[in-house]
């Protein structure tokens, strides 16, 4: 059998439909690769369930009733509830919890024919930028096991990069798909807020959480996103009433020498905006407005260089580069960490030891049971955000902090709309650095928060955005570039990413020994 673990989602789907190999053979290969749990990426594996699903897929393929992704394996971030696998959200609070139902995203991908390999490690309740906050141990980066893989979807990114799964689900609240995708050299996309149902996703910050796929290429992400999305109005009040679409439809068009020369508004060149606030020092990029470039404070020079090289690639494909401005973007960190903490303090109040989850074994009365249960069950970062959120929502501070943060959030969204009047997509770094060493920032939560400076603005605005690999920086570690589109423009965004991947091979690189 061919080296199926090195195949993309698209290649596996085609091979399965052509009966070059069976779904059982593919599942068996990937299950064998998860033996010993490399990189501590998986939290639960059930080979009996996986092989049973694979057998069902083979039967559908034989009968001619197969779904578009029939038999292709996928693993799910352990923030999505599943009937056949434990769901912990990376927390002691939910140790061994079994859901009576599947999350909508999980069921939609299963309906498309995908086979579940297991559940993936993540920062506790999706709170973190390094995947060091999991109650079940840190995930390591396949490119260098002494480094973090990014968070909170670090297990998802590591599994795809290490070829333990061809694809994985992730969630993105403030960059938790894009940042680990960048740090592990894969592709990941967060769609417009509300595109994918949040039903069955363990809630962190309800106005920000959004599901998305992580895979090796933009083509794979387009196939996965098409299966994941769609209205879920009866079960998710934040679900958009927008008919699902084929996000891969623009990828099939002939590329030509300059495929982006007619991909913009009104058939003109695609205009890629680069915020002046994100420009690296000494930029050689020829911007139409010729404003002087200024270094993003704290951004690694190697990251800046890779972004500039990627923008030069886009220019050679017929795109036009324009400088735009996001003046309120610098306020995204305080705004985000007020809003997300406030929502987390509310969402996590349900974990009190009464109906489900961890409960303290010894306590004197109900109040003591609450206190002991939450003290034992939650990790330090979760407790920190609950306390911050409770503070900003308290009487006397709501107007001063939470309400002001929501006002600035609207200003950030308005800045994006002003920028999109000048361009079709916005490009910039995903993170200011390459992955750091395990433990380097474990005792400095603010340093972790600052790592999200480039991903938070689009999350606060609810925009679709993605990360694509654009090369390597310090110590040979991956660098990702962020692409941001306007609302509901996922197909265009994926097309822009795909055209770059047609002329580069960064997305095909794999860690040594994989």
**258 belongs to the catalytic site:** no
* Integer Cα distance of 474 and 477 in angstroms: 6
Average pLDDT score over the chain: 94
pLDDT score at 33: 97
pLDDT score at 2: 67
Tell me what the mean pLDDT of segment 190-208 comes to.
Answer: 98
- Strands of the sheet containing 320-324, edge to edge, are 42-44, 115-120, 73-77, 167-172, 210-215, 187-190, 465-472, 478-485, 425-429, 271-275, 320-324
Domain boundaries, the chain: 4-251
**176 belongs to the catalytic site:** yes
Is a pLDDT exceeding 60 seen at residue 155?
yes
**226 belongs to the catalytic site:** no
Peptide bond into 243 cis (omega under 30): no
Max mean pLDDT range (8-17, 289-298, 391-400) = 8-17
pLDDT score at 350: 95
Q: Which residues contact 508 (CB under 8 A, 6 or more apart)?
A: 216
Residue 178 C-alpha from the chain's centroid: 5
pLDDT score at 255: 73
pLDDT tens, position by position, 107-132: 999 999 999 999 999 999 999 999 99
User: DSSP for 339-391?
Assistant: HHHHHHHHHGGG-SSSSSS---S--SSHHHHHHHHHHHHS-HHHHHHHHHHHH
Is a pLDDT exceeding 70 seen at residue 312?
yes
Of 176, 197, 332, 459, catalytic: 176
Q: Is domain 4-251 given the CATH code 3.90.1300.10 in the classification? A: yes
Of 22, 57, 77, 226, catalytic: 77
Cα dihedral 257, 259, 261, 262 sign: positive
pLDDT score at 298: 67
Of 152, 197, 283, 332, catalytic: 152
pLDDT score at 90: 98
Is the whole model's pTM more than 0.85, yes or no?
yes
Residue 62: which region, alpha, beta or left (left: phi > 0; alpha: psi -120 to 50)?
Answer: alpha
């Amino acid at each position: 059998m061919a080296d199926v673990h090195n195949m993309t989602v698209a290649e596996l789907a085609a091979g399965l439909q052509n009966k070059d190999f069976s779904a059982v053979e593919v599942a068996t290969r990937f299950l064998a690769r998860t033996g010993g749990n490399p990189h501590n990426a998986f939290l639960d594996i059930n080979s009996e369930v996986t092989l049973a699903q694979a057998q069902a897929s083979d039967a559908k393929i034989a009968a001619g009733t197969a779904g578009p992704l029939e038999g292709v394996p996928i693993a799910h971030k352990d923030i999505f509830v599943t009937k056949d696998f434990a769901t912990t959200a990376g927390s002691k609070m939910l140790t061994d919890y079994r859901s009576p139902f599947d999350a909508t995203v999980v069921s939609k991908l299963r309906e498309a024919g995908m086979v579940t390999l297991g559940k993936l490690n993540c920062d506790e309740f999706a709170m973190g930028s390094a995947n060091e906050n999991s109650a079940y141990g840190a995930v390591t980066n396949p490119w260098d096991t002494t480094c973090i893989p990014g968070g909170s979807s670090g297990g998802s990114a590591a599994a795809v990069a290490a070829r333990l799964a061809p694809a994985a689900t992730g969630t993105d609240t403030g960059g938790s798909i894009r940042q680990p995708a960048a740090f592990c050299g894969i592709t990941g996309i967060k769609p417009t807020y509300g595109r994918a149902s949040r039903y069955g996703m363990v809630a962190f910050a309800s106005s920000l959480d959004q599901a998305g796929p992580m895979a090796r290429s933009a083509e794979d992400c387009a196939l996965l996103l098409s299966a994941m999305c769609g209205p879920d109005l009866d079960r998710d009040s934040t679900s958009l009433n927008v008919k699902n679409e084929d996000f891969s439809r623009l990828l099939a068009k002939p590329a030509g020498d300059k495929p982006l020369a007619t991909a913009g508004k009104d058939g003109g060149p695609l205009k890629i905006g680069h915020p002046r606030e994100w420009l690296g020092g000494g930029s050689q990029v020829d911007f139409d407005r010729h404003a002087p470039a200024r270094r993003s404070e704290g951004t690694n020079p190697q990251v800046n260089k890779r972004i500039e090289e990627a923008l030069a690639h886009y220019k050679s494909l017929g795109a036009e580069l324009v400088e735009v401005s996001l003046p309120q973007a610098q306020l995204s960190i305080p705004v985000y960490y007020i809003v997300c903490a406030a929502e987390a303090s509310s969402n996590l109040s349900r974990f009190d030891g009464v109906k489900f989850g961890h409960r303290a074994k010894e306590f004197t009365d109900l109040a003591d049971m609450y206190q002991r249960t939450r003290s034992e069950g939650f990790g330090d970062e979760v407790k920190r955000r609950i306390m911050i959120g409770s503070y900003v929502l308290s009487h006397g501070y709501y107007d001063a902090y939470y309400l002001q943060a929501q006002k600035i959030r609207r200003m950030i969204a308005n800045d994006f709309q002003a920028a999109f009047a000048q361009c079709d997509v916005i490009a910039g770094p995903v993170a200011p650095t390459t992955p750091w060493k395990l433990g380097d920032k474990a005792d400095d939560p603010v340093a972790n928060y600052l790592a999200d400076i480039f991903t938070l603005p689009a999350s606060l605005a609810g925009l679709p955005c993605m990360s694509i690999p654009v090369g390597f920086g310090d110590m040979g570690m991956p660098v990702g570039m962020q692409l941001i589109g306007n609302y509901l423009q996922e197909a265009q965004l994926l097309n822009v990413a795909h055209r770059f991947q047609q002329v580069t091979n960064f997305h095909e690189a794999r860690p040594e020994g994989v």
